[in-house]
Structure 1
Amino acid sequence: MATKLISIEASKRANAGKGAARATRRAGLVPAVVYGAKAEASLIALDPRVIMRELHKPGWRSHVYEIKAGDLSERALMRDIQFHPVSDAPIHVDFQRLAPGQKVHVEIAVHVDGEDSSPGIKRGGVLNIVLHTIEVTADPTNIPEVFTVDVSALDINDNVRWDDLKGTEGVTPVLQTPNFVVATIAAPTVDVEEGAAASAAV
């Protein structure tokens, strides 16, 4: 599965340092840096609306961005965003540059399918998603957008494990536990509480 690229238009920044960053913010832009892959860091500036648009997308930490600024073209992951303590506006972004053949750590979101068909949920069981995201190592050209959990056949006390997920081809989980649990259908707690209350009353 080829990695989907998301294009971001940016502008170059000539200078580093706090003074230059403040000047960038006064101009209505967000200073950012692209680092890694044993190359010199690239200083860029972004429209804050672009950053907020990406933050509202699920799984943005695993998205591969193609950053274009003049003659500069970089492929990178958005690694860290700093926000203003009062306004919550983004004030700085760190991107990790991607190099062909160099694997990276990424967090992939877990998406659940089949809740409406699960016999366990129909009988009052509770879906417990143990891992909402899973950290994996992946080649930059093969980063999944999402892992899919199918719970349509699960009954109470059944679970879904790593080997049951869809979309894991070509990636390796960082978690060393063999075939770890991702989601379970737990017994309805309300029934247990009502049963305990009834016993106490008797």
Structure 2
Amino acid sequence: MTNFTTIEASARAKAGKGAARATRRDGLVPAVVYGAKQEPSLIALDPRVVLRELTKAGWRSRLYEINAGEAPIRALMREVQLHPVTDRPIHVDFQRLAPGEHIRVAVAVHFTGEDTSVGLKRGGVLNIVRHTIEVSVDPDNIPSGFSADLSQLDINDNVRWSDLQGTEGVTPTVTDRDFVIATVAAPTIVAEPEPVAAPAAPAAPAKKGGKK
């Protein structure tokens, strides 16, 4: 299950564009923590911390504990706005977590058994339909990822939701079917083009008769 990732932050007193610009001039990233039927909490973050988290896979489903001077705030990082030119973070939205209140998160699917898959050994191609799956889950039980075993799959076989490992305690947002996660498709055979015959050389002109 997901561990807490601690983030150090400082409180901001004012909201608005002017206050956000002032925070950026100080070298920090303005952020807001909303949800759980509470007033939004305005905070500022070190941009290096934000960039560090963005480089990690699955940051949208990682559980954070934000230290901003008062009691730690448990939250999910929902959106990060980047500067259109420099790609530096300029604003972060967090969703506050309430005990026992289920939330929706996207959990990554990790594939194993590629080296022993019968279908892949026969030249099949892995077609991944869903790299992540949105689920409803209690914040205390957010999985770090789901596992899909490909070792027993042959060509035209597939992995469905019911085949995944690590789904205990979570409910997919798609509930009307046992949806496909990935398939092993048949190899694509590209036909070689027919050789094109070279055009026949033109016939040499007939020689005229000599003088008599």
TM-score band by shorter chain is: over 0.9
Alpha-carbon deviation of 1:170? 0.5
Q: Which amino acid aligns with 1:149?
A: A
Q: Which amino acid aligns with 1:106?
A: V
Cα distance between partner residues in 1 of 2:18 and 2:174: 42
1:177 Cα offset (Å): 3.5
Between the aligned partners of 2:27 and 2:114, the Cα distance in structure 1 is 44
C-alpha separation in 2, matches of 1:147 and 1:129 = 14
What is the match of residue 27 of structure 2?
28
Alignment match, 2:116 = 117
State the distance in 1 between where 2:103 and 2:46 align: 26
Q: Secondary structure at the match of 1:54?
A: helix
Partner of residue 130, structure 2: 131
SS in 2 for 1:141: helix
Q: What residue identity is the alignment partner of 2:18?
A: G
Mapped partners of 2:160, 2:70: distance in 1? 46
**One-letter amino acid of the structure 2 residue matched with residue 73 of structure 1:** P
Task: Give the length in aligned residue pairs.
Answer: 195
CA distance in 1, matches of 2:3, 2:140: 8
Name 1:39's counterpart in structure 2.
Answer: 38
Structure 1 equivalent of residue 209 of structure 2: none
User: Residue 154 of structure 1 aligns with which residue?
Assistant: 153
- Which residue identity lines up with residue 154 of structure 1 in the other structure? L
Q: CA deviation at 1:24?
A: 0.5
Q: Which amino acid aligns with 1:173?
A: P
After TM superposition, give the deviation of residue 178 of structure 1 in Å.
Answer: 1.5
* Aligned amino acid, residue 27 of structure 1: D
* 1:34-87: CA deviation from partner (whole Å, max 9, x where unpaired): 000000110000011111111111111100100001124100000011111111
Partner of 1:62: 61
Question: Which stretches of structure 1, 4 residues or more, deviate above 2 A after TM superposition?
Answer: none
1:44-193 matched pairs, under 5 angstroms:
44-189=43-188, 191=189, 193=190
What is the TM-score with the length of structure 1 in the denominator?
0.93
Compute the TM-score of the two structures, normalised by the length of structure 2.
0.89
The one-letter code sitting in structure 1 at the alignment partner of 2:64 is Y
Letter in 2 for 1:92: H
- Which entry has the higher C-alpha Rg, 1 or 2? 2
Letter in 2 for 1:9: E
Q: Which amino acid aligns with 1:84?
A: H
* Runs (5+) with no aligned partner, structure 2: 196-212
Task: Give the AA of the match of 2:112.
Answer: D
Distance 1:107 1:7 in 2: 20
Structure 2: distance between partners of 1:46 and 1:152:
44
- Per-residue Cα deviation, 1:130-175 (whole angstroms, up to 9, x for no partner): 1001000000110011111110111111111101101110100011
Identity %: 68
Question: Unaligned regions of 5+ residues in structure 1, if any?
Answer: none
